[in-house]
Amino acid sequence: MKSIYWENLAKNIIILLILIPTLSSIQSFIYSSSLMLDKGVVGSILAVVSIIAVTACFGNFAFTYEKVAHKNLSSRLLAHTTTGLFMFLIGLSLEMTAVLTSLLIGNFPIFNLSLVVLYAACVLYDFWDLKRAKV
């Protein structure tokens, strides 16, 4: 496996390791906020989080490794940083969506599973895009 694939794997593992503890922080903040007692406020925040998720997904899917100068380390690092930030925002948005949705409708494991599958698909897309670049 070429070094760029290992770099991409490391990036995705680091993002996942950062996202795992953020879920409890998001839960504790949202559950302790008195504003969250109003379902209208929760719905409004969920709409804003959805806009962030859509924007991050658009940026992530618009980016392509095909246009990166792979032999140049700084270009690769910039590409990984860009996709990493998008992936981090997508993960945070999905975590916030899960927590806010649980306030609106209660615990719904199938919904949470769909969010995990969506994030996994984004990670797989990241690797597929890298493979498509034929590096």
- pLDDT tens profile 79-106: 999 999 999 999 999 999 999 999 889 8
Question: Which pLDDT band, with edges at 50, 70 and 90, does 71 fall under?
Answer: confident
Mean pLDDT of the chain: 92
Q: Write out pLDDT tens, residues 48-59.
A: 999 999 999 999
pTM value is: 0.90
Say what the pLDDT of residue 134 is: 79
Q: What integer pLDDT is reported at residue 42 of this predicted model?
A: 86
The two tokens of residue 9 are 């794997």
- Exposure string over 22-45, b if 16+ CB within 10 A, otherwise e: ebeebeeebeeeeebeeeeebeeb
Give dist(CA 32, CA 98) in Å, integer.
16
Residue range 4-17, pLDDT digits in tens: 899 999 999 999 99
